[in-house]
Amino acid sequence: EVELSSDGSAVNTGPKGVINDWRRYKQLETEQRQEQRREMERLIKKLSMTCRSHLDEETDKQKQKELQEKINGKVAW
């Protein structure tokens, strides 16, 4: 005789049912661990600080200066 659980699936309490339950539990455990890992990676990316070197800042300042000179050259009559 087979019982039905609340979600409508069959419940087998014999050895095969126990093995299937264990497999399903392990599958859910693995899926949960993967989701936690993905969430942790998203959080790390969100909270990670970016680091800029002095050379990067100097390069950006030089580019800004060149851009400003181009703009001033085009605006000046």
Q: Which of 37, 16, 39, 19 is nearest to 27 (CA)?
A: 19
At 73, list the tokens: 């050259």
Could you tell me which residue, 9 or 34, shows the higher pLDDT? Answer: 34
Query: What is the average pLDDT across 33-59?
Result: 87
Q: Is 76 helix (H, G, I), strand (E, B) or coil?
A: coil
**Is pTM, for the whole model, over 0.75?**
no
Tokens (6 digits) for 41: 């990676």
**Range scoring the smallest mean pLDDT among 11-15, 28-32, 37-41, 50-54:** 11-15
